[in-house]
Amino acid sequence: MSNSTQFTTIILAGYIDIGNIKYFYFTLLTVLYVAIIFANVTLIGLICVERTLHEPMYVLLCSLCVNELYGSTAFFPAFLINLLSSTHEIAIAFCYVQIFSLYTYAAVEYCNLAVMSYDRYVSICYPLQYGNIMTGKNVFILIVLIWMVSFVKFTITLSLNLRLQLCGNILEKVWCDNYLMVKLACSDSTVNNIYGIVALIPSVIVPVVLILYSYIKILKVCLRSSKETTQKAMNTCTPHLVSLMNFSLGCSFEIFQSRFDKVHMPNVLRVVISVYFVICPPLLNPVMYGIRMSKIRKVLSKSVYRIRNSR
């Protein structure tokens, strides 16, 4: 064991000294955060209130929006505070809370998208059995499993992290990152590394297999079907595919900038790609689903019309 110190704070060294322009960025990001809250709360409210949206696809979408509120709230308040701070320090206890929150957000998001792909597969490949397979009870069980598995997994991760002794307290990030925290440890982190690899099975490998299986089956059905049927299938799958690619791209950016040499990467670009996964999906997903899904557009139009007439 090397020299270890009991640190009470973590210094987030990923912030850039941008002078007074930080107030402009603070205002811009605050507006962005408010927009994320408004868009997701609006979609959740529509799905909860409107009985015609009480279908598996929309219930899973509601779960996705709840998770995006959870993830963005774990990130934005601390990010905005540190943006104005001159020290960019964060209490180590809160740092662990942020790690837990952001990692569970990512796991829930990916698993939720995987289950949504399965829902599209059943809807397109087995339309007559859809009501019997995707019952309200089964959808509820799937959502509970998505959240429970993710929370249990990262509770174990957190408990393993807490036993580590740190030899430093500087993270080259604008948010607390589990991988970099483990790298700061001067005690043995073998168990953490092994568990991290094993934990990829429920949070990455299983969702990837489910997504690939679902879309391979959907593609086979589309190739055998009429042009009209194929077009209808693609219309229902497009928002999900865009959400999936957007989030996967954000996670790939994050893994790339955390694990690989970034000496030649501009500081601004480094910050942007490290926060992409927690900013763009929560903002774009509710907007895209609202625009692309005709039933949601109709319900939203009716709601706006009722509000106007009630004045």
The string of pLDDT tens digits covering residues 119-163 is 999 999 999 999 999 999 999 999 999 999 999 999 999 999 988
Secondary structure in 3-state letters for the chain: CCCCCCCCEEEECCCCCCCCHHHHHHHHHHHHHHHHHHHHHHHHHHHHHCHHHCCHHHHHHHHHHHHHHHHHHHHHHHHHHHHHCCCCEEEHHHHHHHHHHHHHHHHHHHHHHHHHHHHHHHHHHCCCCHHHHCCHHHHHHHHHHHHHHHHHHHHHHHHHHHCCCECCCEECCCCCCHHHHHHCECCCCHHHHHHHHHCHHHHHHHHHHHHHHHHHHHHHHHHHCCHHHHHHHHHHHHHHHHHHHHHHHHHHHHHHHHHCCCCCCCHHHHHHHHHHHHHHHHHHHHHHHHHHCHHHHHHHHHHHHHHHHHC
Does residue 32 register a pLDDT over 90?
Answer: yes
pLDDT of 260 strictly over 70 = no
What is the share, in percent, of the chain residues with pLDDT greater than 70?
93
Q: Is residue 2 part of a domain?
A: no
Placement of tokens 């929309």 in the chain:
58
Cα Rg, the chain, nearest whole Å = 21
Confidence of residue 1 (pLDDT cuts 50, 70, 90): very low
Alpha-carbon span 122 to 116, nearest angstrom: 10
How do residues 226-235 score in pLDDT, each as one tens digit?
888 788 888 8
Angle, helices 21-49/56-84, rounded to nearest 10 degrees: 160
In degrees and rounded to multiples of 5, residue 9 shows phi and psi of -135, 160
Residue 79 lies in a domain: yes
pLDDT digits (tens, 9 = 90+) for 196-209: 889 888 888 999 99
Residue 5: its pLDDT value, please?
58
- The pLDDT of residue 103 is 94
Q: What is the mean pLDDT of the chain?
A: 88
Number of domains forming the structure of the chain: 1
Query: Which tokens hold the place of 87?
Result: 């020290």
Q: Which domain holds residue 255?
A: 9-310
Q: pLDDT grade, residue 2 (50/70/90)?
A: very low
Identify whether 183 is part of a domain.
Answer: yes
Q: Is residue 23 part of a domain?
A: yes
Tracing tokens 């589990």 back to the chain, one arrives at 178
Q: Is residue 226 part of a domain?
A: yes
How far apart CA 133 and CA 275 sit, in angstroms, is 37
Whether residue 141 is contained in a domain is answered as yes
What's the CA angle centered on 277, arms 275 and 282, to 5 degrees? 110
What CATH number has the domain bearing residue 203? 1.20.1070.10
Tell me which of 261 and 309 has the higher pLDDT. Answer: 309
Span 110-120, pLDDT tens digits: 999 999 999 99
Domain assignment of residue 78, yes or no? yes
Which of 271, 274, 280, 282 lies closest to 252 in space, CA to CA?
274
Q: Is residue 3 part of a domain?
A: no
